């Protein structure tokens, strides 16, 4: 029975990584600065995600649970703002691989604030990831890539803060976080975007449904369940496939053509992330 559960958990995480990888080209298709800008997209995505499971909330503890997920929602708002605006100027592959290095930024941030020490193996992981990203983008980083680095940093901070708040009531945490991200995105849209020009195209509606229902709600719940069965290392290794799926989708659907150097760089980034997580988990175990 345990073996079957483990296999199901692994399959679930692979599907999660595949969905997340696919969302890069879905969002790339949907977002247009004039007709469907990034902040309004994020507002609708997170609102839909919250509505999908709000009936499972324990409203008695909403006020008590509010602070932690609200801070996480703020950081998500910032992170997805960087990512979505960055996707306007960069490729889905670059966006996915740059976003993925948030995993490597976590130990660096913890080291800067003297929360965790960093072994030489983690420094090696960071160095290799930097080389790999350079190989994926041999012509240098454009403005969209630089915005996406802001997304990676935001996601790294989100990982750290989310890990430090009590998440006994996971659904409450998820719904509050999503609603805060949605409200802030809506406010951002009202301030900097012209919502009078918004067009709900087929691509935009599909992107909202895919990212809201599958990319956010389904993926999160699967990940929560899978992490009760699999170790952190196993989870990290499978989730590291997300940018690989993004690159495969991007090439298959003709969004870009990758050369041998880019493929080699992509492999180095994935291996550096896996090596980093294995190093951290070994340190924590000791």
pLDDT along the chain (286 residues), means of 10: 79 92 94 93 97 93 89 96 94 93 86 82 87 83 93 92 78 94 97 93 95 93 81 74 91 88 91 79 50
Q: Note the pLDDT of residue 228.
A: 76
Contact residues for 258 (Cβ-Cβ < 8 A; gap 6+): 93, 136, 247, 251, 266
| pLDDT value of position 286 | 47
Q: Which residue has the tokens 């930097």?
A: 130
**Residue 172's closest CA among 160, 164, 180, 161?**
180
Number of domains in the chain: 1
Question: For the whole model, what pTM was predicted?
Answer: 0.89
Report the C-alpha gap between 265 and 240 in whole angstroms.
14
pLDDT digits (tens, 9 = 90+) for 69-126: 999 999 999 999 999 999 999 999 999 999 999 888 888 888 888 887 878 888 888 8
- Residue 65's pLDDT is 85
Residue-wise pLDDT tens digits, 224-233: 788 778 776 6
Report how far residue 72's alpha carbon sits from residue 51's, in angstroms, rounded to the nearest whole number: 18
What is the average pLDDT value for the chain, to the nearest integer?
88
Of 26, 169, 157, which is closest to residue 84 (Cα–Cα)?
26
Q: Which domain holds residue 238?
A: 2-285
DSSP string, 68-115: HHHHHHHHHHHHHHHHHHHHTTS-HHHHHHHHHTHHHHHHHHHHHTTS
Across the chain, the runs of DSSP E, i.e. the strands, are: none
Burial, 155: exposed, middle or buried (Cβ in 10 Å; 0-12, 13-18, 19+)?
buried
- Read off the tokens for 264: 């080699």
pLDDT of residue 233: 64
Distance separating alpha carbons of residues 43 and 193, to the nearest angstrom: 12
């Amino acid at each position: 029975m345990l073996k079957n559960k483990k296999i199901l958990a692994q399959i679930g995480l692979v599907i999660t990584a595949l969905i997340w990888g696919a969302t890069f080209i879905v969002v790339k298709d949907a977002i247009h600065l004039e007709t469907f800008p990034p902040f309004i997209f994020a507002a609708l995505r997170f609102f839909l995600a919250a509505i999908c499971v709000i009936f499972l909330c324990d409203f008695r503890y909403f006020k008590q649970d509010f602070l932690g997920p609200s801070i996480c929602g703020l950081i998500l708002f910032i992170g997805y703002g960087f990512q979505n605006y960055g996707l306007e100027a960069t490729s889905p592959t670059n966006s996915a691989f740059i976003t993925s290095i948030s995993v490597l930024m976590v130990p660096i941030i913890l080291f800067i604030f003297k929360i965790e020490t960093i072994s030489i193996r983690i420094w090696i992981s960071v160095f290799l990831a930097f080389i790999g990203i350079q190989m994926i983008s041999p012509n240098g980083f454009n403005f969209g890539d630089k915005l996406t680095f802001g997304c990676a940093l935001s996601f790294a901070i989100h990982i750290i803060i989310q890990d430090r708040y009590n998440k006994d009531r996971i659904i409450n945490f998820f719904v509050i976080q999503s609603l805060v991200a949605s409200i802030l995105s809506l406010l951002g849209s009202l301030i900097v975007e012209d919502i009078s020009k918004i067009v709900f195209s087929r691509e935009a509606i599909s992107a909202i449904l895919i990212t809201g229902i599958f990319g956010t709600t389904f993926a999160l719940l699967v990940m929560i369940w899978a992490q009760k069965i699999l170790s952190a290392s196993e989870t990290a290794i499978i989730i590291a496939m997300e940018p690989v799926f993004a690159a495969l989708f991007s090439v298959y659907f003709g969004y870009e053509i990758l050369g041998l150097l880019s493929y080699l760089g992509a492999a180095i980034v994935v291996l550096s992330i896996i090596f980093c997580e294995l190093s951290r988990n070994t340190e924590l175990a000791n």
